[in-house]
Amino acid sequence: MFQADGYDVVVVGGGPAGSTTSALVAQAGYRVLLLEQETFPRYKIGESLIPATWGVLDRLGLIDQLKASHFPKKHSVQFFSKSGRASSPFYFSQSPRVKNPQTWQVVRSEFDQMMLDNARAKGVEVHEGVRVREVIFDGDRAIGVWAKGPEGEPVRLAAQVVVDASGSRALISSHLKLREEDPKLRNASMFTYFEGAQRDPGLDEGATLVLNTRDQDSWFWYIPQPGDRVSVGVVAPMNYLVRPPKRSPQEVFDQEVARCPGLIPRLEGARQVEPVQVLKDFTYRSRKRAGDGWVLVGDAYGFVDPLYSSGVFLALKSGEMAADAIRGALAAGDVSGPRLGAFEGEFLRGMDAFRKLIHAFYDKDFSIRGFLKEHPELQDDVVQILVGNVFREDVEDLFVPMAKMTSLPASWT
């Protein structure tokens, strides 16, 4: 079933992070194996992309397929206050610094399939329905994985580098107890899909809407999907959304909709077409990015709140950075932790920019609108984070004046 006894790289997980890393390493001629426990297409939440995904998707050769897809085009993000008042949309094209100001609202089962097929086409040996049970360590050094074959048989696979792209399952960081929470972002989400809900016309058709509820206890995303479908989800602190007395997810969801003046008119006459799903406590990161023979990418390293739709972008970007580090490490015959995780400082600064802007949003006494009234010259700096232009040295400058108006977390190191 497997084409070799040993591989240069074994990748655990076939989501966006695993597909990106594996494709870019295989393109350099290395022998790459990717193991995915599910059989694609599989459902996944996380449908809104941000413009900065363009660069990695282009390098992967996927832009033409995306242009030809039925995914709605996203040109902007729009915020709705607790009273239902709409901000002017943040059009990505308004920023002179954004090279590709349009992105997509994807159906993840189709998008992830497209990415995995692309990895295959680039020479990655992909096996679906194969779960990795554990990473094999020789001392501190990862040397391969134990997988469970389709008949349930254990299979030992050796590799010079193990890439953990297992998503929130976070195989290696859970095993090594490296997971760290952000105590202020212990949130939960309940989400479903509607048909017949209001869609804005023209350029705004594919916009992501972020809608506050009364008292700002929670917020909703409103993400247009192909056809007549809209993804609608509510996010709030866990101790607010899943608190006693016990109510069904549907009851809680309906109650929050009723408290969201911006959302009520949009859902009038719409039909809910899926049961409400729940996810909790999704913000975390690993205290370490890499070790000898292993490196973490995408959610297997960390995830910060869905608010600014940064998850898939960070999965693609960390996949790209890790792939370049792995290629260099294999070429140099040095797969040590420092070499594999050399991109960590640059990556963390970018991820932290999203996290700080997320903290600011959750401060009920602070508003970006108010901040920009005092600092109109910083409007484009905020847009830069919303589009994902975060991997630059001066990304933190915005937070110096912002820290005077709201309490921001200390930087991740």
Ligand X SMILES: Cc1cc2nc3c(=O)[nH]c(=O)nc-3n(C[C@H](O)[C@H](O)[C@H](O)COP(=O)(O)OP(=O)(O)OC[C@H]3O[C@@H](n4cnc5c(N)ncnc54)[C@H](O)[C@@H]3O)c2cc1C
- Cis peptide bond prior to 41, omega within 30° of 0: yes
CB of 338 to ligand X, least distance (A): 23
Token pair recorded at residue 57: 């998707």
Which of 9, 11, 17, 107 touches ligand X by CB under 6 A?
17
CB of 30 to ligand X, least distance (A): 20
- Cis peptide bond prior to 275, omega within 30° of 0: no
CB 305 within 8 A of CB 237: no
Which of 11, 18, 90, 353 touches ligand X by CB under 6 A?
18
Read off the amino acid at residue 374: E
Binding status of residue 164 toward ligand X by CB under 6 A: no
Q: Is 56 exposed, middle or buried (0-12, 13-18, 19+ CB in 10 A)?
A: buried
Name residues contacting ligand X, limited to 219-258 (CB under 6 A): 233
CB of 406 to ligand X, least distance (A): 24
The residue to which tokens 């609608």 are assigned: 232
Which of 35, 157, 257, 387 touches ligand X by CB under 6 A?
35
Binding status of residue 171 toward ligand X by CB under 6 A: yes
Beta strands in 198-288 (DSSP E): 208-212, 219-224, 229-237, 271-272, 277-280, 284-286
Q: Which stretch binds ligand X (CB under 6 A): 25-33, 43-51, 259-267, 404-412?
A: 43-51
Binding status of residue 167 toward ligand X by CB under 6 A: yes
Alpha helix positions (H), 281-367: 311-332, 337-340, 344-362
Dihedral in degrees, nearest 10, Cα atoms 12, 51, 28, 341: -60
Binding status of residue 48 toward ligand X by CB under 6 A: yes
> For ligand X, which is the closer residue by CB, 36 or 125?
36
By DSSP bridging, strand 73-74 and strand 103-104 are antiparallel
CB of 34 to ligand X, least distance (A): 9
Q: How many residues bind ligand X (CB under 6 A)?
A: 38
- The Cα–Cα gap between 239 and 225 comes to 30
Q: Which stretch binds ligand X (CB under 6 A): 31-39, 149-157, 172-180, 265-273?
A: 31-39
Name residues contacting ligand X, limited to 257-296 (CB under 6 A): 279, 282
- The Cα–Cα gap between 90 and 205 comes to 14
Binding status of residue 190 toward ligand X by CB under 6 A: no
CB of 268 to ligand X, least distance (A): 24
> For ligand X, which is the closer residue by CB, 173 or 406?
173
Which of 45, 155, 176, 405 touches ligand X by CB under 6 A?
45
Which of 9, 10, 11, 14 touches ligand X by CB under 6 A?
14
Binding status of residue 38 toward ligand X by CB under 6 A: yes
> For ligand X, which is the closer residue by CB, 73 or 169?
169
Which of 21, 27, 37, 95 touches ligand X by CB under 6 A?
37
Binding status of residue 311 toward ligand X by CB under 6 A: yes
Binding status of residue 12 toward ligand X by CB under 6 A: yes
Which of 25, 33, 46, 358 touches ligand X by CB under 6 A?
46
- The Cα–Cα gap between 58 and 258 comes to 41
Binding status of residue 141 toward ligand X by CB under 6 A: no
- The Cα–Cα gap between 181 and 193 comes to 29
Q: Which residues pair with 79 in a beta bridge?
A: 210
> For ligand X, which is the closer residue by CB, 41 or 401?
41
CB 295 within 8 A of CB 323: no
Q: How far is CA 77 from the centre of its chain?
A: 17
CB 206 within 8 A of CB 105: yes
CB of 50 to ligand X, least distance (A): 7
Q: How far is CA 32 from the centre of its chain?
A: 23
> For ligand X, which is the closer residue by CB, 146 or 366?
146
Binding status of residue 16 toward ligand X by CB under 6 A: yes
Q: How far is CA 159 from CA 44, 312, 313, 357, 358, in A?
A: 29, 26, 27, 39, 38
Which of 173, 189, 192, 389 touches ligand X by CB under 6 A?
189
Binding status of residue 165 toward ligand X by CB under 6 A: yes
Count the residues in the chain. 413
Alpha helix positions (H), 268-310: none
Residue 93 C-beta-side C-alpha neighbours within 13 Å: 7
Binding status of residue 214 toward ligand X by CB under 6 A: no
Residues of this chain that interact with ligand X (CB under 6 A) are 12-18, 35-38, 44-49, 131-132, 165-167, 169, 171, 189, 233, 279, 282, 298-300, 303, 306, 309, 311-313, 315
